[in-house]
Amino acid sequence: MSFADHSFVSTKHQSNTPALPPFSLTSPAFHADPFPLYRQLRTVAPIHPVTLPDGRAAWLVSRYADVNELLRDKRFVKKPANVPRAPGEAPVKPMWMPGFLQPLANNMLDLDGNDHTRLRNLVQPVFTPKLVEQLRPQVERVANGLIDQALARGRMDLLADFALPLPVTIIATLLGVPEADRRRFTRWSNVFINTTSNLEMVLGIPAMWQFVRYVRHLVTQRRAHPAEDLITALVQTEESGDRLTKDEVVAMITLLLIAGYETTVTLISSEMWALLQHPAQLAQLRAEPTLIKSAVEELLRFTSPVAVATERYACEPVTLHGVTIPRGGLTLAVLASANHDEAHFEQPETLDLQRAENRHLAFGQGIHYCLGAPLARLEGQIAINLLLERIPRLRLAVAPAALRWRKSLFIRSLRALPVLCDE
């Protein structure tokens, strides 16, 4: 499992690679407006080599067609150990993690082939669109409660006071985490989400150990005393006599938190930020709330909450646009760039809530397409429509230039989004 984001600057690895000025895909300044750099990458360096701080080389893939193909290409794998190597050759080195976290590395996101298919087939029935739709009343109830609190105050941090507690409450309820434990459960899970270096991994060991111990305790309880919750469903899920092991259930719960909770927080806050920056589109959606499904898809494309897909490794040398990614090469698909590719989208820098052709890659593609996409879509649709319906004068409480972005590679997210919400 990859818990670290890496700050890096471009460097020239091959003589046929066009030189670009130094840049950092993780810096807050870059996240404020990354799209000019993405456009430059697509134009002059669609496969661009970079160097990570630990000295490893990586390759950025930025065009829609290439990203779409990469996410489906069986020549690229998620697990470094699956890269073929010559006799005596050292394997691709994964990120370090303490021993008690090693079982979490065998999670669905970081597995390939039959190992991935087995876990996906066991868990998929829990996340069908039909079952997710049954959560609508619960999502609406939680969202309305958070809006009630914001209206009483007259202002809120739309990220911390709304976009964060909504998915946290839903996922904690789904998992069956007792309400009395949710605050510390969220605190522990935040350590996983916000770990961005080996040093922070070491410093976070106590919280991570407590988190894993607590989740294991919940799993043990549900095996002995089933309940109406997701942990019980994961424990009991089976196909053709196959079941999830205890380690696999713990890994799956951790994955649901990291891949689902964090990205949904970013989805809601980033989409509302985009609407606040485009008042005509905001007014259109407020006047025509039935546009919400196409609006959320367009906002997913336009904001791309997951800016960069998680790592993939080349099983053999792959040459694209004159650049060779070597066997074992760490490859990063830049989803945010692909979603703004002028070769695939008409006027990609325009926010068009009624965009008809919108096959964006915000949820990935291929066998690792986001399992929680139906739930993220539902929460996004409900959250945005209720905010616009119940807070007619919703507006920024600070100048846009005062907003700050998080330091991250994979996620493009604001640190805070203060708004006024008087009726």
What pLDDT, on the 0 to 100 scale, is given for residue 361? 98
Write out pLDDT tens, residues 134-180. 899 999 999 999 999 999 999 999 999 999 889 988 888 888 888 88
Report CA Rg, the chain: 21
Confidence tier at 400 by pLDDT (50, 70, 90): very high
Average pLDDT, integer, range 55-79:
93
Mean pLDDT, rounded, of the chain? 85
HSE-CB at 2 with a 13 A cutoff on CA atoms is 23
DSSP 73-118: -TTEESSGGGS---TTPPPPPPPP--GGGGGGGSSGGG--HHHHHH
Direct distance between the N- and C-terminal alpha carbons of the chain, in angstroms, rounded to an integer: 44
Number of neighbours of residue 108 by Cβ within 10 angstroms: 23
Residue spans per domain, the chain = 9-420
pLDDT at 12: 42
**Predicted pLDDT at 238:** 56
In CATH, the number for domain 9-420 is 1.10.630.10
Report d(CA 19, CA 218) in Å as an integer: 53
Nearest CA to 374 out of 183, 206, 76, 134 is that of 134
pLDDT, tens digit, 9 for 90 and up, residues 71-100? 999 999 998 888 988 777 776 665 556 666
pLDDT digits (tens, 9 = 90+) for 228-285: 888 888 888 755 566 777 788 888 887 777 666 778 999 999 999 999 999 999 999 9
Residues, the chain, total?
Answer: 423
Helix axes 182-194 and 165-175, enclosed angle (nearest 10): 110
DSSP lists the bridge partners of residue 330 as 58, 313
pLDDT value at residue 267:
94
Beta bridge partners of 157: 418
Strand partners, 324: 319
pLDDT of residue 3: 30
